[in-house]
Amino acid sequence: MIELDTEQQAARTWFESLRDRICAAFEAIERDAGSDARFDYLSWDRADPDGSPGGGGVRGVMKGKVFEKVGVNVSTVGGRFEGDFAKTIHGAAEDPRFFATGISLVAHMANPHVPAVHMNTRFLATTKRWFGGGADLNPPIPYDVDTADFHARLKMACDAHDPAHYPRFRQWADDYFYIPHRGVHRGVGGIFYDHLEGDFESGFAFTRDVGEAFLDVYPQIVRRRMNSEWTDADRTRQLAWRGRYAEFNLVYDRGTLFGLKTGGNVDAILMSLPPMASWE
């Protein structure tokens, strides 16, 4: 077990409480669809290369009638970055010791009309301390109203803190969630932010509001689409789109690399991959 200071413990407690409420909301959707699916949780421990305790986390996965596969992970880890990887992390080149706690969520949906989604928020500490994260919507079959509602709710969260946040973080998401070798974006965007440092309380408050925004808007979108009729052609389109999603996460996603480089749980790290995908 790693020792946490007051800020680290506050962040950890929040991410775990957000996990509990998101999972409860998703299970409620399954109940309403006539399914008894629930999250299965598996805890894991991490050790530093020298064998000292390095924290751990809990991987939660549910496979149901609405959510074909959804994973909600929380982790709290600490230790030392190995080798040159420290030079790629904000504030770690001077001192490789680090702490990280956060929540990561990816949902792949059974109905092609229901958009898949990603959400991640985190608190990291090296020689600097900062928050990062965001959320982006990934529909195989986009609907303008879903995209508008998702962005409007994230904009509301941003505007409560700084009117400059939303345009900046929306553009950041568009730039980040892009697949260069395909020349396409991963989805219809959202927000992405990183290295939000300075006053802990203001960064923490913003990060909490991003989590609340996601919990508010995404279940509404799921319920709007989950009973839509779909065809074999819709499913084919969904599976091909999932292939693009897998390509991004395996080739470009920084979170995947961070987890693997810091000795995280491999199953939790690769939780983002869809249960089925196709390539033509």
Local structure of residue 271 (DSSP, 8 states):
G
Q: Which amino acid is at 227?
A: N
Active-site pick, 113, 118, 165, 185 = 118
Residues counted in the chain: 280
Which whole-number Å values give the CA distances from 272 to 69, 84, 106, 119, in the listed order? Answer: 9, 26, 5, 11
Known active-site residue 118: yes
**263 known member of a binding site:** yes
**118 known member of a binding site:** yes
Helix (H) or strand (E) holding 118: strand 116-125
What tokens does 183 get? 């020349």
**195 known member of a binding site:** no
Q: How many CB atoms lie within 10 A of CB 181?
A: 9
**43 known member of a binding site:** no
Burial class of residue 128 (count of CB atoms within 10 Å of its CB; 0-12, 13-18, 19+): middle
What tokens does 89 get? 């992390």
Three-state DSSP state, 94: coil
Sign (positive/negative) of CA torsion 196, 198, 201, 202? Answer: negative
- Rounded to an integer, what distance in angstroms lies between the CA atom of residue 112 and that of residue 235? 6
**211 known member of a binding site:** no
**168 known member of a binding site:** no
**265 known member of a binding site:** yes
Local structure of residue 52 (DSSP, 8 states):
-
Q: Which amino acid is at 21?
A: R
**104 known member of a binding site:** yes
Residue ranges of the binding site for a divalent metal cation: 108, 118, 151, 181
Q: Report the catalytic residues.
A: 118
Question: Binding site: residue ranges?
Answer: 104, 108, 118, 120-122, 151, 181, 263-265
Annotated binding-site members for substrate: 104, 120-122, 263-265
